[in-house]
Structure 1
Amino acid sequence: MSVVTSGWARGLERPGVGQYPSRMADSPVQLLRLHARHAPFNARSLAAHATALVDAAGLRPTNASARAAPSARSVRFYVSNGLLDRPEGTGTSATYGYRHLLQLLGIKIRQREGQTLDAIKREMKEVSGDALERRVANSLAPALGVSDGAALARRSEEGPATWRRLPVAEGIEIHVRDDSSASSEDGLVALREAVRAALGRMA
């Protein structure tokens, strides 16, 4: 996937600029850390970003509650129940960072695997920040663009790839390869909404 333009993890903070790799890394953790540059989030954009990643990874929900996409209201619910760390600020000025994104992703991944919120809360208290980051990165590897040598070889033999173009806003569109796990209709919608949310924060 590419975006084209014209003209729980205490102790795990947003990586500094110098920590970003100069080229696309193969490590799921390094690729996940690239999403830190979208922070700070508000509750709505945090929920949209997490939804886009989980949907793009193709993680199938096991029940109705796991199928529900996180919303700003659910983010605040998770904070009040100790599943997410408290944000910086309060009310409409509350902001969330990379640590919160990891926590929310961890919650939604485990929900889609069939775990209850009570069980997830216990897990969150026991796992370190680095362990959570690795777990989330490995679960989301298909959405993060981790290279699969065999798949790359097959694509080379099959010839040029087919890409889908998805307009997002004036002068901006998303390109998604047809064989990507994010090329489903739901995945494309989630990606577009996440990009629009990011653009809204830049306005």
Structure 2
Amino acid sequence: MNTVTKKRTLDELCALTQLNKRTVRFYIQQGLVDRPIGEKRGAYYSETHLEQLLTIQKWKEAGLSLERIKELLKFDQGEHVVPPLRPKQPGSVEVWSHIHIQDGLEINIQPERANMTPEQLRSFSQQVMQLAEQFSADNKGE
């Protein structure tokens, strides 16, 4: 088992992530990225630092704020689990799809939060409609 940790300088870390030094230092200051290992000229960065920065970049590109990213990083403990949703704030706006299946049966869904494309949502709705028709037919036959 290889336990050797790749030691990187700040310049190397910046080159790999395409971030500037100021941004990396800001992320460290804000608690988004761990402090470097060691001090002064002997300080170095590990794979963990690289992974933290790449994760921050991914979430920033997805449109998350640094505040939300910080919450997600605190929640993430190395597991690939969906983090808890933020509590709703007064005045927040949500977009829901309301799909009528049949009398008395409707679907309310947030496609973005459910991670569904319009095609997937359409397919899902059609499958629910077919299932509802089967239940209705079974109930009429009894």
TM-score in terms of structure 2 length: 0.50
CA distance in 2, matches of 1:119, 1:86: 20
Pairing partner for 1:46 from 1, 10, 13? 13
Task: Could you list the structure 1 runs, at least 4 aligned residues long, displaced by more than 4 angstroms after superposition.
Answer: none
1:38-187 map, 5 Å: 39-51=6-18, 70-131=19-80
| Range with bigger deviation, 103-112 or 123-132 | 123-132
SS at match of 1:78: helix
Cα deviations across residues 69-98 of structure 1 (Å, max 9, x unaligned)?
A: x11221111111100011112233321101
Q: How many residues align?
A: 81
Cα deviation, residue 131, structure 1: 2.6
Distance 1:74 1:91, change over 3 A: farther
CA distance in 2, matches of 1:128, 1:118: 18
Q: Percent same amino acid at aligned positions?
A: 33
Counterpart residue number, 2:123: none
CA distance in 1, matches of 2:41, 2:80: 31
1:17 paired with 2:17, answer no
Does structure 2 conserve the Cα–Cα contact (< 8 Å) formed by 1:43 and 1:76? no
Cα deviations across residues 136-186 of structure 1 (Å, max 9, x unaligned)?
A: xxxxxxxxxxxxxxxxxxxxxxxxxxxxxxxxxxxxxxxxxxxxxxxxxxx
Cα deviations across residues 104-153 of structure 1 (Å, max 9, x unaligned)?
A: 00001111111111110111000122438xxxxxxxxxxxxxxxxxxxxx
Distance 1:92 1:72, change over 3 A: farther
CA distance in 2, matches of 1:112, 1:120: 11
TM-score in terms of structure 1 length: 0.36
Does structure 2 conserve the Cα–Cα contact (< 8 Å) formed by 1:41 and 1:96? yes
- Pick the structure with more helix per residue: 1
- The answer to which structure, 1 or 2, has the higher relative contact order (CA under 8 A, 6+ apart) is 1
CA distance in 2, matches of 1:44, 1:85: 16
Structure 2: gaps (5+ residues): 82-142
Report the AA paired with residue 2 of structure 2.
V
Structure 1: gaps (5+ residues): 1-15, 19-35, 52-69, 133-203
